[in-house]
Structure 1
Amino acid sequence: MIAMGHELLVGLILLGGLSTSGAGTPPGEARPNIVLIMTDDQGYGDLGVHGNPVLETPRLDRLAAESARAGTFYVHPVCTPTRAALMTGRHPQRSTAIDTYIGRAMLDPSAVTIAERLSDAGYSTGIFGKWHLGDCAPMRAIDQGFDVSVIHAGGGIGQPSDPPGGESAYTDPILFRNGVPESFEGYCTEVYVDEAIRFIDQVEKPFFLTLTTNAPHGPFGDVPEDLYDKYRAMDLEPVGASNHDRQARIFAMDSDIDRQVGRLLDHIEESGLVEDTVVIYLHDNGPDHDGYVAGLRGRKGSVHEGGVRSPLFVRWPRRIEPGDRPELMGAHLDLHPTILELCGVAPNPELPVDGISLVPALVDPAVSTTDRSIVIQAHRGDRPVRWHHAMVRDGRWKLVNHSGFGREIPEGEAVPMNLALYDLREDPAETRNLAAERPEEFKRLSEIYQQWWDSTIVEESDAYRPPAIRIGPEVGTVRLTRQDWRRTRKGPWGGRSQGRWWVESLPGAPHDVLVRKLPSATVRPDEFEIRFNGKVLHAAEWPKGESMVVVDAIELPVGTGWFEVVCRDEESDYGPYQVEVRPPS
């Protein structure tokens, strides 16, 4: 076994894509295409190849058989932090994409994505499905290195960022092609693959294609009917789910992913691109259901293994032999430097990353990456909180403080501390806390976490403020939704919550502002105000019986500030449902 030295890897801190192999694309050889596939809320056990007793995924199982398969691969327990880490190769806490909504899921535009690096290296780049790193300029996928983008808004279909007419529509969705809404026909996963195939056929090679499905993320009311009928007619008792109808709907989405990925892989083969294309497959976090998790503990949102473990399959017939890589322990952070090495793109010392290249271990099963430390932390809140909902993996040992992803810790309040130490070699299900029995390992992993915190977290008071949404004539229509606002009153993003958007107002003509009220028929504003940095720019009565109002020629002050719309009735103030800031009509 060849080990990649622990002293270089502790904490995954600023490593710039460490590699020891030269096993990527040599100079002068044709660079490979990259197809990166990541599904949403599909658990480690939601694959036939991982022993699921009911779910059928023959095409993904075949892909696994044709791929190098990581022994252990980590992601964050929720969507956005995983996507930020994957795209940048850096801990999400180094950026502003640390949660999944209300202005905490926007990638700082100064972050450099793998799409930007590959675009600069001559790759055509496209993303199809879910972005979840910002809906407005300059945080959109097309602002962050992607030439072609066909994506839904926000964190999923069925959320407050849905465009009018596309609410909760997985079938015949309204998506955004390069930032412009467009109606499509078909189930969303099928649409993404249709667009991915069109991209392959039309763009210059080599290409970087990212397929990030929102399935099997909920809501679960709109699923492929043929597959739903199949699974609800089956005996689901073996998977142990508490809600069989819900599980049948999720399995229908999973099987449709299998079907659609099979179509994409067939097209790659029919186009003669198999030898020239690297296919990478993973999940973004654990499952959003109970039941079968392949023996792991926890689910989505958990920092136990069931919430943070993902498969990693890497297929490249030209250079990577299929088979298990039991000594490969990796994380989403590693894919950025791994892809760069596969594509023959040298690391840039001025753009350091926290991950390492996994190419040596993918090419040579004798290479081990298990002697390293991986830190994962994610929780609700406007900024990271020390020790809140975190895990440290180092070799066989794992230290966990499972304080709850959904718990926000108010400033000055102590984090619940219930640290547990597990030996994952002997106890992969995390059933036996060895903290009292192995104090030296407990202390060592605690120190690794402290080192990670001190070297990663930005302490400035405004470090995790949302990036500024750009408003100006050249930007066009800007859609402001509750996905990207920062709350001014505690509560979720629904109902009578209230918030505001951090914006950069550019010089230019006045703007027309369209305000939509909450969809509920029981919420009817009496009046509304438009404000910038607290100053009222416009105040008026809400037109009776109308769901929206348009105000012409609003002059926004030039510069950065908080843009806010306040609706009001006899009960309280609250926020609008959506706002559009448009060039003047």
Structure 2
Amino acid sequence: MRRIGFLLILLILQLPAWAKQPLPNIILLMGDDHGWEETGYNGHPYVQTPFLDEMAASGLRLDHFYAHPTCSPTRGSVLTGRHPNRYGIFRPGYSIRPEEVTLAQRLKEAGYATAHFGKWHVGPVKATSPTNPGAMGYDHWLSHDNFFEMDPVLSLNGAPPEKYYGESSEILVDEAIDYIRAQKQSEQPFLTVIWFGSPHEPYSGLTTDLALYRDLPQKYADRQVSLTSNETGQRIKRPLRDVLIERYAEITAMDRAIGKLRHSLQTHGLKQNTLLWYCGDNGIPPSGYRESRFRGLKGKVYENGIRVPGVIEWPAGIPKPRVSTVSAVTSDILPTLCTLAGTEVPSVPLDGIDLMPLIQGKMKTRSTPIAFWNFPVSSGDAAKPYIDPELQKGTTLLAKQSAGLFTRNFRNNHHPGITEKDYRGARAILSGDYKLVIDGGQNSGVELFNLKQDVSESKNLAKANPERVQELSKQLRTWQSSVLNSLMEADYNQAGKPNSPR
């Protein structure tokens, strides 16, 4: 007996620091249209992000972190650990499907309290929506159907929207801090998701934040960019310099709100065992483009469309700062946090992997490729709606007008059947240092890049490496077939339950 007790003590002593702690609190933060280069720690010459820089200096900096080309697909991937095309979130304005099993649902089963603040954008947030945050596993939510600016209109737990006055990032963080403080009293671990509306256009900023960027070079004033007018909601053209001043002000305000959250965690004795994970939802949009070492923009499968800031701060689990160049993606968040919480992942095909070995410093290479795919949606799609269109109507106001509305409605359709054209659309697969891109741009055909040697994706190696092109093309095609099988509703039975284990 003594020997068994000694062995148990020895085993416990050998466990990593995080495993000896109570279940960690988890906070997921996401910027809206925040590109990889737009942080101080990634060397931006103008943008000031002192608190993200502190997180990167003290935690795990994910230098090769990826999202999907646009926002709704990325948010779906965080919720499910699955590529968004599996359940019909092809682009912004498409909803998730109600039977999808989410991170919040899995963590609730592990004993977590769950809350969502800010941008939702995978369905309406109203009470009657079958895809609102509550239906997807969140006990509490203060959310918006889409993006928002100063003085945002938000819905509390599905109630009619109300206006909240102030800078939007600070509003979300203040509300989240109140929630976290209440959870501390209950001694229940929490999953808190804060999805900011910044720095999505149309841009605006506090006077003090705007003043930080008044000295941007005059050369940017000569270029005109198209974006939304805060006054009319219509498209206008403005000098890039003026636009960048406002965009960078929004990033700094968001960063300051993150700093306020970190300070609150410290004040309430929660910082040590709270995992704080920040990332962007896609790359830089045309209205925010200055210069870049990367190719492409938001919406593209080239690096500037999909590589985003990624950083994890968790003193109990990451006691020393590290920088990782292992490729990781937003779909990895669910399997990683399920492992951390000691709960099983959903028993459906996943596209993300468990990054706990990476967090522990044990993962040197990624075990599976990462695939990206802009599904070829038909503008004349008359397929049967997956959800009653009335339930897909949004309620929260936003500044940008679309089809005469200052709200947004969603859609998701039953896919009529698989044809060869369904395999089309810009797509890419990233395996090790190599990235295969097919139809990434107009008349671009098949492209192969070695990102370690050519991060700008300027040298096409496809003709010189036909064997690698063939190998990656085959992997990509096989993966697409799996995704289309999911899209055809093969993963769930008529009761909405997973059909079989992974």
TM range (shorter): 0.7 to 0.9
Partner of 2:209: 227
Query: Among 176, 189, 200, which residue is 2:180 paired with?
Result: 200
C-alpha separation in 1, matches of 2:301 and 2:291: 14
SS of the aligned residue for 1:208 comes to strand
SS of the aligned residue for 1:35 comes to strand
> Where does 1:43-442 land on structure 2 (aligned, <5 Å)?
43-101=35-93, 105-135=94-124, 136=126, 137-153=129-145, 155-157=146-148, 170-180=149-159, 181-203=161-183, 204=186, 205-220=188-203, 222-235=204-217, 237=219, 243-288=240-285, 289-292=287-290, 295-343=293-341, 345-348=342-345, 350-364=347-361, 366-379=362-375, 381=377, 385-403=422-440, 418-442=445-469
Give the AA of the match of 2:377: G
C-alpha separation in 2, matches of 1:268 and 1:301: 35
Following superposition, the deviation at residue 82 of structure 1 comes to 0.5
Following superposition, the deviation at residue 370 of structure 1 comes to 3.3
1:40 aligns with 2:20: no
Does the 8 Å contact 1:240/1:291 carry over to 2?
A: no
Question: Measured at CA, do residues 460 and 40 of structure 1 come closer, stay the same or move farther in structure 2, by a change above 3 Å?
Answer: closer
Q: What residue ranges of structure 2 are gaps of 5+ in the alignment?
A: 1-13, 225-239, 379-414, 416-420, 491-502
Give the AA of the match of 1:126: A
Does the 8 Å contact 1:327/1:370 carry over to 2?
A: no
Does the 8 Å contact 1:99/1:380 carry over to 2?
A: no
Following superposition, the deviation at residue 311 of structure 1 comes to 2.2
Does the 8 Å contact 1:116/1:145 carry over to 2?
A: yes
Question: Measured at CA, do residues 262 and 214 of structure 1 come closer, stay the same or move farther in structure 2, by a change above 3 Å?
Answer: same
Question: Measured at CA, do residues 22 and 176 of structure 1 come closer, stay the same or move farther in structure 2, by a change above 3 Å?
Answer: farther
SS of the aligned residue for 1:175 comes to strand
SS of the aligned residue for 1:107 comes to coil
Does the 8 Å contact 1:285/1:308 carry over to 2?
A: yes
Partner of 2:495: none
What is the TM-score with the length of structure 2 in the denominator? 0.77
Does the 8 Å contact 1:77/1:308 carry over to 2?
A: yes
Does the 8 Å contact 1:240/1:292 carry over to 2?
A: no
Question: Measured at CA, do residues 69 and 239 of structure 1 come closer, stay the same or move farther in structure 2, by a change above 3 Å?
Answer: farther
Give the AA of the match of 2:189: P
SS of the aligned residue for 1:100 comes to coil
C-alpha separation in 2, matches of 1:293 and 1:119: 43
Give the AA of the match of 1:450: R
Does the 8 Å contact 2:85/2:375 carry over to 1?
A: no
Following superposition, the deviation at residue 138 of structure 1 comes to 0.6
Question: Measured at CA, do residues 349 and 79 of structure 1 come closer, stay the same or move farther in structure 2, by a change above 3 Å?
Answer: closer
Partner of 1:512: none
Larger Rg over CA atoms: 1
Residues 240-277 of structure 1: per-residue CA shift (max 9 Å, x gap):
97610111110010010111111111101111111110
Does the 8 Å contact 1:81/1:378 carry over to 2?
A: no
Q: Which 10-residue stretch deviates more, 40-49 or 283-292?
A: 283-292
Following superposition, the deviation at residue 39 of structure 1 comes to 0.4
Following superposition, the deviation at residue 238 of structure 1 comes to 8.7
Following superposition, the deviation at residue 140 of structure 1 comes to 0.4
1:455 aligns with 2:479: no
Following superposition, the deviation at residue 361 of structure 1 comes to 1.2
C-alpha separation in 2, matches of 1:234 and 1:367: 41
C-alpha separation in 1, matches of 2:486 and 2:153: 40
Does the 8 Å contact 1:25/1:341 carry over to 2?
A: no
Q: What residue ranges of structure 1 are gaps of 5+ in the alignment?
A: 1-20, 158-169, 408-415, 464-585
1:31 aligns with 2:23: yes
Following superposition, the deviation at residue 64 of structure 1 comes to 0.8
Residues 119-175 of structure 1: per-residue CA shift (max 9 Å, x gap):
12111111111111100511001110111111112x323xxxxxxxxxxxx222221
Following superposition, the deviation at residue 287 of structure 1 comes to 1.1
Partner of 2:8: none
C-alpha separation in 1, matches of 2:58 and 2:449: 33
Question: Measured at CA, do residues 435 and 54 of structure 1 come closer, stay the same or move farther in structure 2, by a change above 3 Å?
Answer: same
Residues 39-75 of structure 1: per-residue CA shift (max 9 Å, x gap):
0001101101111001111111011111111241111
Task: Return the structure number with greater helix share.
Answer: 2
Kindly report the root-mean-square deviation, in angstroms, between the aligned alpha carbons of the 2 structures. Answer: 2.6
C-alpha separation in 2, matches of 1:324 and 1:332: 19
Does the 8 Å contact 2:86/2:486 carry over to 1?
A: no
C-alpha separation in 2, matches of 1:358 and 1:387: 30
Give the AA of the match of 1:121: A
Give the AA of the match of 1:218: E
C-alpha separation in 1, matches of 2:368 and 2:136: 30
SS of the aligned residue for 1:368 comes to coil
C-alpha separation in 1, matches of 2:309 and 2:488: 37
C-alpha separation in 2, matches of 1:213 and 1:349: 27
Give the AA of the match of 2:359: L
Following superposition, the deviation at residue 25 of structure 1 comes to 5.4
Residues 150-206 of structure 1: per-residue CA shift (max 9 Å, x gap):
1112x323xxxxxxxxxxxx2222211111112212121111111111111112321
What is the TM-score with the length of structure 1 in the denominator? 0.67
C-alpha separation in 2, matches of 1:209 and 1:459: 29
Does the 8 Å contact 1:41/1:216 carry over to 2?
A: yes
C-alpha separation in 2, matches of 1:201 and 1:450: 48
Following superposition, the deviation at residue 94 of structure 1 comes to 1.3
Does the 8 Å contact 1:303/1:390 carry over to 2?
A: yes
Does the 8 Å contact 1:41/1:283 carry over to 2?
A: yes
Task: Return the structure number with greater strand share.
Answer: 1
Following superposition, the deviation at residue 224 of structure 1 comes to 2.3
> Where does 1:533-552 land on structure 2 (aligned, <5 Å)?
none
Does the 8 Å contact 1:124/1:208 carry over to 2?
A: yes
C-alpha separation in 1, matches of 2:311 and 2:77: 18
SS of the aligned residue for 2:277 comes to strand
Following superposition, the deviation at residue 367 of structure 1 comes to 2.0
C-alpha separation in 2, matches of 1:226 and 1:347: 47
Partner of 2:500: none
Question: Measured at CA, do residues 435 and 310 of structure 1 come closer, stay the same or move farther in structure 2, by a change above 3 Å?
Answer: same
Q: Which 10-residue stretch deviates more, 285-294 or 304-313?
A: 285-294
C-alpha separation in 1, matches of 2:481 and 2:33: 31
Does the 8 Å contact 2:265/2:271 carry over to 1?
A: yes
Q: How many residues were matched structurally?
A: 414
